[in-house]
Amino acid sequence: MLVLGIETSCDETAAAVVEDGRRVRSDVVASQILVHAEFGGVVPEVASRQHTATIVPVVRRALQEASIAWSQVDGIAVTSGPGLVGALLVGVETAKALGHALGRPVVGVNHLAGHLAAVYLEDPALPEPPPYPHLALLVSGGHTALIRVDGSGRHRLVGSTRDDAAGEAFDKVGKMLGLGYPGGVQIDRLSATGNRDAFALPRALPARDDLDFSFSGLKTAVSTLLAARSVAPEGPELADLAASVQAAIVDVLVKKSRRALAREGLGHLVVCGGVAANRGLRAAMAVAAAEDGFRLYIPPPKRCTDNAAMIAAAGAQSLRRGERAPVDLAVDPGLPL
Interface pick for ligand KG4 out of 75, 86, 91, 184 (rule CB under 6 A): 184
167 touching ligand KG4, by CB under 6 A: yes
CB of 142 to ligand KG4, least distance (A): 4
Interface pick for Zn ion out of 26, 50, 140, 278 (rule CB under 5 A): 140
Q: How many helices (H) and strands (E) does the chain have?
A: 11, 10
Distance from the first to the final alpha carbon of the chain: 25
Binders in 79-138 for ligand KG4, by CB under 6 A: none
For residues 80 and 140, which CB has a smaller minimum distance to Zn ion in the complex? 140
For residues 10 and 270, which CB has a smaller minimum distance to ligand KG4 in the complex? 10
277 touching ligand KG4, by CB under 6 A: yes
What is the rounded CA–CA span in Å between residue 143 and residue 276? 12
For residues 2 and 84, which CB has a smaller minimum distance to ligand KG4 in the complex? 84
Say which entry of ligand KG4, Zn ion, none residue 233 contacts (CB below 5 to 8 A, set by partner kind): none
298 touching ligand KG4, by CB under 6 A: no
Helix, coil or strand: residue 276: helix
Residue-by-residue DSSP string for 92-144? HHHHHHHHHHHT--EEEEEHHHHHHHGGGS-BTTBSSPPPSSEEEEEE-SS-E
Binders in 210-229 for ligand KG4, by CB under 6 A: none
What is the rounded CA–CA span in Å between residue 185 and residue 181? 8
In order of 57, 195, 319, the CA distances from 107 in angstroms are 21, 47, 7
Say which entry of ligand KG4, Zn ion, none residue 194 contacts (CB below 5 to 8 A, set by partner kind): none
234 alpha-carbon distance from chain centroid: 30
What is the rounded CA–CA span in Å between residue 10 and residue 79? 10
171 touching ligand KG4, by CB under 6 A: yes
Interface pick for ligand KG4 out of 26, 144, 244, 278 (rule CB under 6 A): 278
182 touching ligand KG4, by CB under 6 A: yes
306 touching Zn ion, by CB under 5 A: yes
Whose CA is closest to 192, among 308, 283, 85? 283
Residues that bind ligand KG4 (CB under 6 A): 10, 140-142, 167, 170-171, 182-185, 188, 273-275, 277-278, 305-306
Residues that bind Zn ion (CB under 5 A): 140, 306
